[in-house]
Structure 1
Amino acid sequence: MPSLAASNRLRIGRCSEPNRIYLLSTNTLCREPIFKDFTLGRLVVAQFRAAQDQGFADSLAWVVMPDHVHWLIELHRGTLGGLMQRTKSLSTQAVRRSTDRKISLWQNGFHDRALRREEDLVNVARYVVANPLRARLVEKLGDYPLWDAIWV
């Protein structure tokens, strides 16, 4: 498990600007491949959709890998920390209900990268959703069930 000091370093220099695009990534605790069970992965996807439905962020692209997630968003309200805390907490609760096990699901902290609008967002989205191909989990992207992008 990362130390508290390492977790705090993830926050140095982090700011949350409305209408800015961010690439967010976070790992499961000890990189446990819990989302090999696609049913559990869909519980995370439900939280991505809830964040959008509630007006916190628009999901531009995402992938739920067995042991981590990547989420390309346009932030609308709140902070990145609040968005990730809410998403991680609610997905943990959903997985606990589904498995009837009291588990810790996520590592502390997350990584974020702010993108400039002039960057090629489509290429970043393609990079995100191509994770299952690079990890050799599937031969065709369409064979992996836990991804989406507004451009694809």
Structure 2
Amino acid sequence: MNLQPGRLYHLYNRGNNRERIFFNEENYRYFLGKMRKHLLPHTQLLAWCLMPNHFHWLLYVREDASVAALGQDLRTMLSSYTRAVQNQQQRTGSLFQQHTQAKELAADIYASNCFCYIHQNPWRASLEAIAGDWPWSSFRDYAGLRNGNLCDRELARELLDLPDNPQELQAFMLQVLPDGIGEQLL
């Protein structure tokens, strides 16, 4: 992964063989704590979504970030989470696919589409009947339904030209995305 300071990225990974990586609510909470500890010193998180077998992050690498330290912290985060799940599930072997993917995005329509794509993930996967019901994404924070503090919402509004009003932002996040956008963002 070749992350550079001052740039915007879509990072994602999934379970090895597309298997689950989150087995209960405590797994999701534990992973969120790891994100706070290992990502936020190096990045400003703009959007996130944790799905049963994968995760997505839209993040901005801080101007003063050490990419070597970020890479090491990301590896530490995923390997320590893997060890915890291995102990919990009494399993061995890889939890995640070998490499976390990172796609650089310009702060343009692709970044805005990525923001919406990440937030629509649970709804598109039929994990929720009503968009915004999935608790394991930043959708509820942007829609004014929860006051989470993992995301830098001010920077997201600035870089992605997002509406200030939560209702308008919720409608923006649920907009119909162009056909094939998932392939362009992955």
Q: TM-score range by the shorter chain?
A: 0.7 to 0.9
Q: Does the 8 A contact of 1:30 with 1:107 survive in 2?
A: yes
For 2:90, give the aligned amino acid: R
Q: Which runs of 5+ in 2 are unaligned?
A: 140-152, 157-168, 170-186
2:6 match: secondary structure: coil
Structure 1 position 50 matched with structure 2 position 14: no
Tell me the equivalent position of 2:56.
70
1:38/1:17 CA distance change after superposition, 3 Å? same
Which of 108, 123, 133 pairs up with 1:133? 123
Larger relative strand fraction: 1
Which residue in the other structure is 1:101 paired with? 90
Aligned pairs for 1:19-34 (under 5 A) are: 19-34=6-21
Among all aligned residue pairs of Structure 1 and Structure 2, give the percentage whose two residues are the same amino acid: 28
SS at match of 1:16: coil
What's the CA shift string for 1:54-90, capped at 9, x where partnerless?
A: x111111111111111111111222464353132113
Contact 1:61 1:73 in 2 (8 A): yes
Q: TM-score, normalised by structure 1?
A: 0.75
Kindly name which structure, 1 or 2, has the bigger radius of gyration based on alpha carbons.
2
What RMSD, in angstroms, separates the aligned Cα atoms of the two structures? Answer: 2.4
- Superposed, which structure 2 residues align to 1:73-92 within 5 Å? 73-76=59-62, 77=65, 78-79=67-68, 81-92=71-82
- The range that moved more, 77-86 or 105-114, is 77-86
1:2-54: per-residue Cα shift (whole Å, max 9, x none)?
xxxxxxxxxxxx5221021100110112211242523212222222111244x
Classify the secondary structure of the residue corresponding to 2:52. Answer: coil
Q: Name the TM-score, length of structure 2 as normaliser.
A: 0.63
CA 1:19/1:86 → structure 2, altered by over 3 Å: closer, same or farther? Answer: farther
Q: Distance in 2 between matches of 1:139 and 1:36?
A: 21
Unmatched 5+ stretches in structure 1: 1-13
Contact preservation (8 Å) 2:39, 2:73: no
